[in-house]
Amino acid sequence: MGAEDKIRNAADKAVGKVKEAVGKVTDDEQLAAEGKTDQSKADLKGAAENVKDAFKK
């Protein structure tokens, strides 16, 4: 996984956490769910990159 990908995934995960927190504070269930989805996507992308790296070795 390249450094750029790691940074991008970390940023996506952070944005998701912020969305989730704002959604909870404002009682916006849709925004909270969107935040959780963003975090999950970032986690999946990171896992996929780790698998790619494992096969490169």
pLDDT at 37: 97
Tally of CB atoms within 10 A around 38: 19
The per-residue pLDDT for 5 is 83
Cα dihedral 21/26/31/33 (nearest 10): 60
Q: Which pLDDT score, from 0 to 100, does residue 2 have?
A: 75
**Helix or strand (DSSP H, E) at 40:** helix 29-56
pLDDT less than 50: residues of the chain: none
Locate the domains of the chain by residue range. Answer: 3-56
- Is-above-0.95 flag for pTM? no
